Chain A
Amino acid sequence: MRKTALSEEILLQVEKPARYIGNEVNSVVKNREDVAVRFAMCFPDVYEIGMSHLGIQILYSMFNSWEDVWCERVYSPWTDLDRIMREQDIPLFGLESQEPVKEMDFLGITLQYEMCYTNILQILELSQIPLQATERGEDMPVVIGGGPCTYNPEPIADFFDLFYIGEGETQYRRLLDWYVENRKQGGTRQEFLRGAAQIPGIYVPQFYEELYHEDGTISGRRKLYEELPDRVRKEIVTDVSDTYYPLKPVVPFIKVTQDRVVLEIQRGCIRGCRFCQAGQIYRPVRERDAEVLKKYAVEMLANTGHEEISLSSLSSSDYSRLDELLEFLIEECGRKHINISLPSLRIDAFSLDVMSKVQDVKKSSLTFAPEAGSQRLRDVINKGLTEEVILKGSALAFEGGWTRVKLYFMLGLPTETEEDIRGIGELSNKIAATFFETVPKDRRVNGKVQIVTSTSFFIPKPFTPFQWASMCTKEEFLEKAYQTKKGIMEQLNQKSIKYNWHEADVSVLEGVFARGDRRIAKVILEAYRRGCLFDSWSEYFKNDVWLQCFEDCGVDIGFYTTRERADDEIFPWDFIDCGITRQFLLKEWKKAQEGVVSPNCQTQCQGCGAGTFQCGICPTAS
């Protein structure tokens, strides 16, 4: 019978014990004697969030498809169990074997958002693994980081032995083979790390030192060994139709955020919005074959019993065979009573037709992400959505019976003026007006339209044209939110518009981490020591503690957020080669300041550099 790492007394005392027992359908249990490598794969947040992540499921199924590897899952224990584990000195464990993480060979941690950084320390500490990579003994697991935040790993570099830059499908086999080989030869941990540094996509931070100018900016990097690469190039899968895919994903017992089959239809995005990191680092666009996807859908639904399926990509409307794929899914899922959850599609006659087939029009809402209130600012950020398109789409939708519209904007974008902010209220108002013009009184369901306008705060991210941009202070953000609210209140249809805005504190902190360097690590460690954890959960976010830690550590927040950066400043992440050239990003940054748009990858290649991967949409591929 299955054992549990936690006693019955503990399991009956904590909230949702199902987070910690494993045993889910399609979870993989192997015989520990039969495997050469044990890999703990961690998402450093609570189970329900971590279980919803496709990337982990892909790697979990890839690792476990290899006979000599056993991959298990690890998530952050919630605060109730965290306290008990510390009190009773219980080591963190893998869900499948229920055995301590510290007994395994690797601990892989996916870094999906900056606000999980204190949770990394929680995972390490509860696992009883030293927090600093250089303090880990020979018998400790190799701690490896992956995911989007590794495109600037420097703020957390001290805590990791390795970072894997790019898509995991390509080099893990080689890394694990080298690990086994080194162990056979009686090699040390250091020898393993030196060999690993030679593998494409692998970065070993402790072999490099960050050097600074007197003004605090980076002057360069020093490497410990001659043979180390100066730059680490991201890894990508060139043929996404012929690679690993989790056809038997783990099915959780408890309801999780993404409780459905997820079909990843493509990677990358043709759009090139200048604020968007994903749009740059995942280039080039690579579509997955529609026939392959249809087969996956049928198999995954049969293997999981999920009652819902959704498509995943950065911009599903750009997938060339979307109509064919959706037609198949509507037919297949209709017969099997499976719901289709549509990603945000560009609103046009086609998508409205599809939406009306799969959702209850009266209950669902339309989503537009204009991101900026005026055409001028939308040109600056290269968001190719015009007011005309939004109003036309809304009119079509209102005729079709929809009455709810969600609008997403960003505040604090480069060059933003008060007029741009007023534009948010004006556009919201025009959409409401379109409803009253389009739908005659006697046909109005509930008699009204509901516009929900939300703003988030702009955070400059590495490897985007805005990596040079100055970020606003908290006070500036709040002033902008106030102006937005005031602008909406002045509108004729203000009663139809609801306004939501994000917290400014956490955005400022995210801004520090996003473009931070190695000097940030001590602040993260200090904040964790003072009780910061689950910072992405607003009820646990302790802004005052964070601010005190920055002050006590002598780290100036403004240096990382509001400071203007010179064109030739060396950034902490410059040693990473994500395919996109700095020259291209700088050109885009200049164009942004002039308000000049760039055509998308489909229309005309902009020579960003991703063509060197020789795959996907890039003209050099053919």
Chain B
Amino acid sequence: MKIRIKFSKYGTMKYIGHLDMMRFFQKAIRRAGIDVRYSEGFSPHQIMSFAAPLGVGMESCGEYMDIEVLSMTTAQEMKEALNRVMVEGVEILSVSILPDHVQNAMASVAAASYLLQKKEGDYPVDELTGKLEAFLAQETIPYTKETKKGVKELNLKEGIYELEAESNRAIRMLVNASSSGNIKPGMVMDAFSAFAGVEIPPSAYRIIKLETYMDPAANGKDRQGSHKLIPLDAVQ
């Protein structure tokens, strides 16, 4: 049976990297006494996959992972059992039983929404939020991505679905998060600060991932047109 688990990650847990979160959950699943399925062989491991890695330093209230179980009572009981063995900074928000035909979490991811909150500091974010509209209205939004192999020129325009000021202290964005066109919120902020002509260091804002979405109509491909996005645990 396939199970999808939604959880939040906040506070000091933002310093725990992706691989360590996987180890944390493997141990938590054993502590919670969940009848999880293991792979075969001399060093069996739990069948587990995360929707998308969350960068160190980021918080989230929309993280997902899939596991497989051999038996269980109810989703509600599994959620409670897991929450009893969590630490401060990780909370299980929902547990859902997946229909067999559903793609795994990682392959399903189409988009993610983020909230960027201004932290203390004397940079002019307040006046900048007024320039968001103009920024988004550009024909192209160029971004230079530095990878180990070299530099790559990207156009972020198509991957930014929504971008707005939530208040004069926060920006909300909905961006492509699929494996082929993933846009990190820091990339948008870098492009924006270049556009506005102001240096905004990554330490100036706190990033919270709000939700991870799938596009039921796109079937794993990039989002085309105005398909309806649904949260990963809203799958039927």
Chain A residues with CB under 8 Å of chain B are 1-2, 4, 8-9, 11-12, 17-18, 21-25, 251, 253-255, 301-307, 336-337, 339, 359-360, 363
Query: Are A18 and B27 in touch, CB under 8 angstroms?
Result: no
Residues of A close to B87: CB separation below 8 A: 23-25
Contact of B203 with A by CB under 8 A: yes
Q: Which stretch in B16-24, B96-104, B145-153, B154-162 binds the other chain? A: B16-24
A521 to chain B, nearest CB (A): 38
Residues of B close to A23: CB separation below 8 A: 12-13, 87-89
28 inter-chain pairs at a CB distance below 8 angstroms, sorted by A residue, are A1-B88, A4-B12, A8-B57, A8-B203, A9-B203, A12-B56, A12-B203, A18-B15, A18-B16, A22-B12, A25-B27, A253-B16, A253-B24, A255-B20, A255-B23, A301-B30, A305-B26, A305-B27, A305-B29, A305-B30, A306-B30, A307-B26, A307-B27, A337-B38, A339-B43, A359-B42, A360-B43, A363-B42
Taking each of B15, B29, B42, B57, which has the highest tally of chain A beta carbons within 10 Å of its own beta carbon? B15
Q: What 10 pairs between A and B have smallest CB-CB spacing?
A: A305-B27, A305-B30, A305-B31, A17-B15, A360-B42, A21-B12, A337-B38, A337-B44, A253-B20, A253-B16
Considering the complex, give the chain A residue whose CB is closest to the CB of B36.
Answer: A337
Q: A2-B12, A23-B13 are in contact. List 20 more A-B contacts (CB 8 A).
A: A2-B88, A4-B12, A8-B57, A8-B203, A9-B203, A12-B15, A17-B15, A18-B15, A23-B87, A25-B27, A254-B16, A302-B30, A302-B31, A305-B29, A305-B31, A305-B85, A306-B30, A307-B27, A307-B30, A363-B42
Given A9-B203, A23-B89, do A1 and B29 touch, yes or no (CB 8 Å)?
Answer: no
A30 to chain B, nearest CB (A): 15
Considering the complex, give the chain B residue whose CB is closest to the CB of A22.
Answer: B12
Contact of B130 with A by CB under 8 A: no
Chain B residues with CB under 8 Å of chain A are 11-13, 15-17, 20, 23-24, 26-31, 33, 38, 42-44, 56-57, 85, 87-89, 203
Query: Are A2 and B203 in touch, CB under 8 angstroms?
Result: no
Query: Are A305 and B203 in touch, CB under 8 angstroms?
Result: no
Considering the complex, give the chain A residue whose CB is closest to the CB of B15.
Answer: A17
Residues of B close to A12: CB separation below 8 A: 15, 56-57, 203
Considering the complex, give the chain A residue whose CB is closest to the CB of B206.
Answer: A8
Query: Are A2 and B11 in touch, CB under 8 angstroms?
Result: yes
A84 to chain B, nearest CB (A): 15
Residues of B close to A360: CB separation below 8 A: 42-43
The one of B20, B43, B203 in contact with A18, judged by C-beta atoms closer than 8 angstroms, is B20
Q: For the complex, give the distance between the alpha carbons of A258 and B16 in Å.
A: 19
Residues of A close to B42: CB separation below 8 A: 359-360, 363
B158 to chain A, nearest CB (A): 30
Residues of B close to A8: CB separation below 8 A: 57, 203
Considering the complex, give the chain B residue whose CB is closest to the CB of A19.
Answer: B15
Query: Are B88 and A304 in touch, CB under 8 angstroms?
Result: no
Considering the complex, give the chain A residue whose CB is closest to the CB of B41.
Answer: A360
Q: For the complex, give the distance between the alpha carbons of A13 and B125 in Å.
A: 24
Residues of B close to A304: CB separation below 8 A: 27, 31
Q: For the complex, give the distance between the alpha carbons of A304 and B12 in Å.
A: 20
Q: For the complex, give the distance between the alpha carbons of A235 and B20 in Å.
A: 39
Considering the complex, give the chain A residue whose CB is closest to the CB of B57.
Answer: A12
Considering the complex, give the chain B residue whose CB is closest to the CB of A360.
Answer: B42
Q: For the complex, give the distance between the alpha carbons of A302 and B87 in Å.
A: 16
B32 to chain A, nearest CB (A): 8
Residues of B close to A337: CB separation below 8 A: 38, 44
Residues of A close to B88: CB separation below 8 A: 1-2, 23
Query: Are A254 and B13 in touch, CB under 8 angstroms?
Result: no
Residues of A close to B26: CB separation below 8 A: 305, 307
Residues of A close to B30: CB separation below 8 A: 301-302, 305-307, 336
Query: Are B85 and A25 in touch, CB under 8 angstroms?
Result: yes
Query: Are A306 and B27 in touch, CB under 8 angstroms?
Result: yes
Q: For the complex, give the distance between the alpha carbons of A386 and B203 in Å.
A: 64
The one of B15, B24, B43, B57 in contact with A21, judged by C-beta atoms closer than 8 angstroms, is B15
Residues of A close to B89: CB separation below 8 A: 2, 23
Q: For the complex, give the distance between the alpha carbons of A214 and B2 in Å.
A: 80
Query: Are A305 and B15 in touch, CB under 8 angstroms?
Result: no
A397 to chain B, nearest CB (A): 18
Residues of A close to B20: CB separation below 8 A: 18, 253-255
Considering the complex, give the chain A residue whose CB is closest to the CB of B203.
Answer: A9
Considering the complex, give the chain B residue whose CB is closest to the CB of A21.
Answer: B12
Query: Are B12 and A305 in touch, CB under 8 angstroms?
Result: no
B69 to chain A, nearest CB (A): 13
Q: For the complex, give the distance between the alpha carbons of A337 and B33 in Å.
A: 12
A588 to chain B, nearest CB (A): 44
Query: Are A305 and B28 in touch, CB under 8 angstroms?
Result: yes
B56 to chain A, nearest CB (A): 7
Q: For the complex, give the distance between the alpha carbons of A305 and B31 in Å.
A: 5
Query: Are A11 and B15 in touch, CB under 8 angstroms?
Result: yes
Taking each of A21, A305, A363, which has the highest tally of chain B beta carbons within 10 Å of its own beta carbon? A305
Q: For the complex, give the distance between the alpha carbons of A339 and B44 in Å.
A: 9
B85 to chain A, nearest CB (A): 7
Considering the complex, give the chain B residue whose CB is closest to the CB of A362.
Answer: B42
Q: For the complex, give the distance between the alpha carbons of A359 and B41 in Å.
A: 11
Q: For the complex, give the distance between the alpha carbons of A301 and B31 in Å.
A: 8
A250 to chain B, nearest CB (A): 11
A564 to chain B, nearest CB (A): 52
A80 to chain B, nearest CB (A): 14
Q: For the complex, give the distance between the alpha carbons of A599 and B20 in Å.
A: 49
Q: For the complex, give the distance between the alpha carbons of A253 and B12 in Å.
A: 12
Residues of B close to A24: CB separation below 8 A: 87
Considering the complex, give the chain A residue whose CB is closest to the CB of B119.
Answer: A8
Residues of A close to B38: CB separation below 8 A: 337
Residues of B close to A21: CB separation below 8 A: 12, 15
A246 to chain B, nearest CB (A): 16
B42 to chain A, nearest CB (A): 4
Q: For the complex, give the distance between the alpha carbons of A251 and B86 in Å.
A: 12
A217 to chain B, nearest CB (A): 53
Residues of A close to B33: CB separation below 8 A: 302
Residues of A close to B29: CB separation below 8 A: 305
Residues of B close to A2: CB separation below 8 A: 11-12, 88-89
Residues of A close to B24: CB separation below 8 A: 253
A7 to chain B, nearest CB (A): 10
Residues of B close to A301: CB separation below 8 A: 30
B14 to chain A, nearest CB (A): 9
Residues of B close to A253: CB separation below 8 A: 16, 20, 23-24
Query: Are B56 and A17 in touch, CB under 8 angstroms?
Result: yes
